[in-house]
Amino acid sequence: MNSLPARREPRPLGLASQPTLRLALGYKDPAKKGAPVKTDYFVAKEGRDGEYAAAARKFREVYGEKPREIDIMLPTSIGQALDVRYRAFKGNPADDDGGVLVAVGNTNFALLGVRGGPDTLTVFEQDGEVHDIDIYGEDDPAAVALGVALYTTIRFSIPSVLGAGGVCEITSKGKKTTDNLFERLVTLYGWFGVKTPFAVRPTLVLRHASGRPVVTDKKTGETRRIRSNFFALDIRVRETLDEMVGRLAEQAALLPAGGPAAALYGARPDRPAIEAVARELTAASSPDVVSEPLVGSESGSDSQQAEGVAAAAQVESTSTGGAASSAAGAEPPIDEPVATPAFVAPKGARAVAARIKELGATPVMGHEGKTLGEIPSNGEWIKWALNGGSPQWTPEFRAIFEEWVQLAHPEEWAAHQKTHAGEQTVIE
């Protein structure tokens, strides 16, 4: 029996992907034998073999020769937009590709919110061997021997230059750049998540910055701090939060009445009739019917934006007359949640959702640590609670509970009202 060779862990996809365009804050000066020259503007790289030349020409046509800001479009996640990772290069770092990559870290520290730390490096030896080594940071002797440093790369699109699918990137080792980009992107993705590219119209800019790096005197070997002025990357958003939210609403309004699903597959003209029948079935007490609610489609309208506004209750067979499985008067257990999507949210969904959230924060008497909002749509428990619940419940809590059931579990409330007609008062 042949034994399989040991396998290395698979690396994440995308690490070796080639961008459509690379930008830099410097260039190689032919008059100085290719010595690097720093700039206070973005430089579009041509590429070692001219692979970015066409995009670079277009960039200069749109932004000129010395732009300090660029209108960009971000990708759908912060992990795609920002990569803070250990890398090591050999050769001339002024090359368009930064030299030859000899080691790369496995961790994107932008996803951890820290600047470096322990990591595993994948090392590419000259003889073709590839192996992994563990380091505790940039100061690890193995990392120092390889010339490892922490590189920050931001990836984005420039629609006016690269169209919809092109990717541009720029890399820096500056701490100010890393902190600026991380803070801005965490805020934006925290607000909008995967919708960030559609809500935000950001500008990548160069900002004046200063620092006090430590330098070493080549003659004496002494170290000292100096003041240094430089330019750091940053992201600027000119719009207000309300303006960005408004843009999302406008885009949602352009979609068909079924949301993205309807845009792909077309609207379902029979949906209102189907939903009307489904609602009637879920409210019925027939012992032969166990209804299955339709999956609600996404929509930009108020009637379908509130999550959980009218969460459909789990409809149980009433062939036994709805008798409790436990002893009479005993409280049924609160089971695990059953995911059942709503048919349609009522009018004024945003106001209803806010009220459900407010009521849902009420602690359940006798269930320390649980609130109404944490109670799943367990038909048996809600039925028990509507029929009297716990003797220790106060009138105030009962009123809150009944209003919560009306809004969050309307089918359960309708079934209870039908069974106990005239015994309950509907709370407006």
3-class state of residue 152 by DSSP: strand
Same domain, 36 and 75: yes
Question: What's residue 251's pLDDT?
Answer: 77
Phi, psi of 61 (to 5 degrees): -65, -40
Choosing from 246, 268, 289, the residue where a domain stops is: 246
Look at the chain and report how many structural domains it folds into: 2
Residue 211 belongs to some domain of the structure: yes
Give pLDDT, residue 303: 34
Do residues 337 and 376 lie in contact, with contact meaning Cβ atoms separated by under 8 Å?
yes
How far is residue 264's CA from residue 26's CA, in Å, rounded to a whole number? Answer: 46
pLDDT of residue 86: 95
* pLDDT the model gives residue 324: 40
Residues of the chain with pLDDT under 50: 1, 284-328, 334-347, 377, 422-428
Please name the residues in contact with 332: beta carbons below 8 A apart, sequence gap of 6 or more. 324, 325, 326, 378, 380, 381, 384
pLDDT of residue 283: 53
| 403 and 359 Cβ atoms separated by less than 8 Å | yes
96 and 140 co-located in one domain? yes
Q: Which of 215, 246, 277 is the last residue of a domain?
A: 246
294 shares a domain with 224: no
What lies within 8 Å, CB to CB, of 294 at 6+ separation is 271, 274, 275, 278, 341, 343
> What one-character DSSP code corresponds to residue 184?
H
Q: How far apart are alpha carbons 173 and 283 in whole angstroms?
A: 63
Asked if residue 16 is part of any domain, the answer here is: no
Q: How far apart are CA 148 and CA 329, in angstroms?
A: 69
Residues 236 and 277 in one domain: no
The answer to whether residues 183 and 53 belong to one domain is: yes
**Cα Rg of the chain, angstroms:** 31
How many angstroms from the chain centroid is the CA of residue 35? 41
pLDDT (tens digit per residue) in 106-123: 999 999 988 889 999 999
Query: What range defines the domain where residue 360 resides?
Result: 260-419
C-alpha–C-alpha distance, residues 317 and 289, integer Å: 7
Q: What is the pLDDT of residue 308?
A: 36
**Residue at a domain's end among 224, 246, 268:** 246
Alpha-carbon distance of 271 to 343, in angstroms, equals 10
Contact 288, 304 (CB under 8 A): no
- What DSSP letter does each residue of 236-281 carry, written as one string? E--S-HHHHHHHHHHHHHHS-TTTHHHHHH---TTHHHHHHHHHHH
Residue-level pLDDT at 90: 86
User: Would 62 be classed as within a structural domain?
Assistant: yes
Q: Cα separation of 414 and 393, whole Å?
A: 22
Specify the pairing of strand 168-172 against strand 21-29.
Answer: parallel
Q: Is the dihedral of CA 58, 61, 64, 70 positive or negative?
A: negative
State the Cα–Cα distance between residues 100 and 130, nearest whole angstrom: 15
Assess whether 90 and 121 both reside in one domain: yes
According to DSSP H, which parts of 69-122 are helical? 78-81
**Do 241 and 282 reside in the same domain of the chain?**
no
pLDDT of residue 183: 93
Q: Assess whether 52 and 122 both reside in one domain.
A: yes
